[in-house]
Amino acid sequence: MFVGRRMTRNLITVAPDTSILKVKNLLKEYNIDQVPVVEGKKLVGIITDKDIRDNSASPASTLSVHELNYLLSEMKAREIMTKKLYTVSPGTTIEEATKLINEKRVNSLPVVVHDELVGIITTCDLLNVLLDFMGMDTPSSRVELTLSGDMGDIAKIAGIINKQGLTIMSIVSTTSREKGDTRIAVIRVNTDDITELSKAFEEAGYRLTMEYKVE
């Protein structure tokens, strides 16, 4: 899956000369925590609610609300916006975007084409992708198996599920570092009762490490 399929396209943006007071009000009005700064369609920066807090008067200040708002109205977006940005393109994979967000410790990535802002993808968007991949919106049950290391494990698992008359909603194979780099498979199937399926896995030599029903 690619960023272009999950990014937010209808963006709230501001110009470099927009007052910080207006930016603050926009964040509150639209219940967002960041806003891109653009010149025309060109991305030049981004402002977060943290940027505004960091550049506001200290809570210990004797300024009144009116005085603080006046200062924020005089301060412009270009003065506090972050100019060093990490961006992706619509063709960037979801995996690459997730890795970049994790490595750079940011909450979002502007999506650009030739410096032109076309969207934004956030950590919330990426979490929704994960939920979709794992089939969480469909009544189902989750089974976690320890794999034997056989290259044909996944095919065997699929065959067992098929014999039970069930459908795989999602399947992910990963490494459990807590168990000495043991390979595990996390499977979601379209049933609310995996009793018989669990027995079938155990009879085939697989060890169930976790199971639970999703209501």
Q: What is the pLDDT along the chain (215 residues), one digit of tens a residue?
A: 899 999 999 999 999 999 999 999 999 999 999 999 999 999 999 999 999 888 876 554 566 777 777 788 889 999 999 999 999 999 999 999 999 999 999 999 999 999 899 999 999 999 998 888 777 777 888 888 988 777 788 899 999 999 999 999 888 888 766 555 678 888 999 998 999 999 999 999 888 875 444 44
Give pLDDT, residue 214: 44
Give pLDDT, residue 211: 44
Give pLDDT, residue 179: 56
Degrees (nearest 5) of the Cα angle 89, 115, 113? 35
pTM for the model: 0.75
Distance (Å, whole) CA 143 – CA 93: 27
Residue 57 has phi, psi (to 5 degrees) of -65, 150
Q: Could you tell me which of 29, 23, 15 has the C-alpha nearest to residue 73?
A: 23
Give pLDDT, residue 197: 94
All structural domains of the chain = 3-130 (3.10.580.10), 135-213 (3.30.70.260)
Longest Cα separation, the chain: 74
Number of other residues whose CB lies within 10 A of the CB of residue 215: 5
Q: What CA–CA distances, in Å, run from 199 to 86, 90, 145, 147? A: 49, 45, 12, 16
Give pLDDT, residue 59: 53
Number of other residues whose CB lies within 10 A of the CB of residue 174: 10
Contact 34, 99 (CB under 8 A): no
Q: Three-state SS across the chain?
A: CEHHHHCECCCCCECCCCEHHHHHHHHHHCCCCEEEEEECCEEEEEEEHHHHHHCCCCCCCCCCHHHHHHHHHHCEHHHHCECCCCCECCCCEHHHHHHHHHHHCCCEEEEEECCEEEEEEEHHHHHHHHHHHCCCCCCCEEEEEECCCCCCHHHHHHHHHHHCCCCEEEEEEEEEHHHCCEEEEEEEECCCCCHHHHHHHHHCCCEEEEEEECC
Give pLDDT, residue 63: 63
| Euclidean distance between the first and the last CA atom of the chain, given in angstroms as a whole number | 28
Q: Which two tokens stand for residue 25?
A: 């009000």
Give pLDDT, residue 163: 95
Give pLDDT, residue 215: 47
Q: For the purposes of burial, counting CB atoms within 10 Å of the CB of 170, is it exposed (0-12), middle (13-18) or buried (19 or more)?
A: middle
